[in-house]
Amino acid sequence: MDAFTYRDGELFCEAVAVEKIAREFGAPAYVYSERALLERYRAVAAAFNRYLPTTVCYSVKSCSNVNILRLLAEAGSGFDIVSGGELFRVLQAGGDPRKIVFAGVAKTADEIRFALDRDVLLFNCESEAEVLTINDLAAAAGKTAGVALRVNPDIDAHTHAKTTTAKKENKFGIEFERAKKFIAAIAALKNVVLRGVDAHLGSPINTVAPYALAAEKLLDFLRAAPDTLTHIDIGGGFGLRYHDEEPPEFAAYAQALSPLAAAGKRLIIEPGRSLIGNAAVLLTEIQYVKTNGEKTFYLTSTGMNDLIRPALYDAYHFIWNVKTALPPPSRLFGNDLAPPAGLSPVDVTGPVCESSDVFAKDRLLPPARRGDLLAIFSAGAYGFSMSSNYNSRPRPPEILVSGNRYRVIRRRETYEDLLRGE
């Protein structure tokens, strides 16, 4: 069931009218549905485990609020981290270090020491030099570290140019054939054990073919791997419906990867967007309605500093009035029906002094007035986690809804917060 629905022309998150939240906490505000997140977590875990034993390691970078991480930890999730800061968050949330995989191309010695100290499951290594460094640091700490080689399978997953990772020209991973040759050198190192192979392919990937191809390549790699290797990490990247995409079901991705079952290893998946993406909206308030020649602008209280995806990737986010006599066509994200009459094209923009501070151009929307609220949908992933204080704008609060209850999981920043540390 959708967590965000219109009832009598008004948007609800679970059983709470989002306008109530905006009245209490102001807008902009991120509003998350606990149910939507946990349903997706359980769905992905169940779909993959039907095909092969799988550990879900939620990708912390997609939304890293410690309260969100705690919900996932309590549900049994592991975590994919890329920094010491993310490790700190996961530990604070009660995450199990034995379900943490540590990725990232340029881990510092401090970050590696921190992760060694907490005995994380895997260091996903992106270069030979990194493996050697981890070996040295592990020796100094009197530990043995589990490492995985992140291979670069040279697969074009047809993502946005800024989110592609698995092609030869990207900085990620070790060239496939070179990684195979490096296996013998790892065996000679005393303080690391080769426990995994990893290949994140990009994000979002709205077809299963790249995964099927990666499975083939990984099986090839595994033929050269020692028995110590127990985990195959395929990364994240599963698609999400922002607009008219038809991303495969989790089961279809799992099926595409099912040939890996022949290897008798445990699969790790690192979904972020597909779990949290549609579990939140970003509420914004129209400050002014302005016309310039033919054009109409809804000038809102939310800026590119709060949600940078449209400015950075030309990303599409569905937007609709929170209260309207014209509920969205079809289901919430559906555009398979003709739009209702009474809509007109507007640009939805923010207040930031950049011409890329635009959330939608020439978007058909119901009429609105100063003070009306809009909801920017699919804002859960890479929304708050990529926000900044640009233009010295305090960041919005994050509110978590569960049934008919809601609570602040991050308060709105204050002006004093802006100066902290300066």
Q: What residues are labeled active site?
A: 353
Strands in 223-351 per DSSP E: 231-233, 266-269, 280-292, 295-300, 319-321, 344-349
Q: Quick one: tokens of 19?
A: 């306008």
Q: Which two tokens stand for residue 324?
A: 């309207």
Q: How many CB atoms lie within 10 A of CB 270?
A: 28
- The SS3 call for residue 196 is strand
How far apart are CB 158 and ligand LLP at their closest, in Å?
14
Rank residues 196 and 366 by Cβ distance to ligand LLP and give the closer one: 196
Give the N- to C-terminal CA distance of the chain in Å, as an integer: 46
Would you say 204 or 248 has its CB closer to ligand LLP?
A: 204
Cα 156 to chain center, whole Å? 20
* One residue of 18, 29, 52, 103 binding ligand LLP per CB under 6 A: 103
Among 14, 34, 80, 347, binds ligand LLP (CB under 6 A): 80
Pairing outcome for strands 358-365 and 231-233? unpaired
Selected from 146, 210, 236, 396, the binder of ligand LLP by CB under 6 A is 236
Interface positions, 285-324, toward ligand LLP (CB under 6 A): 309, 313
CB of 337 to ligand LLP, least distance (A): 27
Site stretch for ligand LLP (CB under 6 A), options 18-26, 269-277, 338-346, 364-372: 269-277
Q: How far apart are CA 257 and CA 260, in angstroms?
A: 6
- 196 contributes a contact to ligand LLP by CB under 6 A: no
Rounded Cα distance between 153 and 165, Å, is: 10
163/287 with CB nearer ligand LLP: 163
The answer to whether the bond into 328 is cis (omega within 30° of 0) is: no
Q: Does 273 bind ligand LLP (CB under 6 A)?
A: yes
Mask 332-361, x = binds ligand LLP (CB under 6 A)? ------------------------------
Judged by DSSP in three states, 71 sits in helix
Of 113, 114, 121, the residue nearest 96 (C-alpha): 121
Distance in angstroms (rounded) separating the CA atoms of residues 225 and 313: 38
Does the footprint of ligand LLP cover residue 86 (CB under 6 A)? no
* Of the candidates 34, 31, 2, the residue with the CA atom closest to the CA atom of residue 322: 31
270 binds ligand LLP (CB under 6 A): yes
Question: Exposed (0-12), middle (13-18) or buried (19+): which is 97, by Cβ within 10 Å?
Answer: middle
Identify the residue among 133, 203, 301, 324 touching ligand LLP (CB under 6 A).
203
Please identify, among the stretches 16-24, 249-257, 265-273, 343-351, the one whose residues bind ligand LLP according to the rule CB under 6 A.
265-273
Backbone φ and ψ for 180, nearest 5 degrees, come out as -60, -40
CA–CA separation, 203 and 236 (whole Å):
7
Q: Is 382 in the site for ligand LLP (CB under 6 A)?
A: yes
Question: Does position 111 bind ligand LLP by CB under 6 A?
Answer: no
Instruction: Please choose, out of 128-136, 197-205, 335-343, 395-403, the segment that lies near ligand LLP by the rule CB under 6 A.
Output: 197-205
Nearer to ligand LLP, 25 or 253 (CB): 253
Nearer to ligand LLP, 14 or 126 (CB): 126
- Check binding of 237 to ligand LLP (CB under 6 A): yes
How many CB atoms neighbour CB 194 within 10 A? 22
Q: How many residues bind ligand LLP (CB under 6 A)?
A: 21
Stretch that binds ligand LLP, among 214-222, 270-278, 279-287, 296-304 (CB under 6 A): 270-278
- Which residues of this protein are in contact with ligand LLP, per CB under 6 A? 59, 62, 80, 103, 163, 200, 203-204, 235-238, 270-274, 309, 313, 381-382
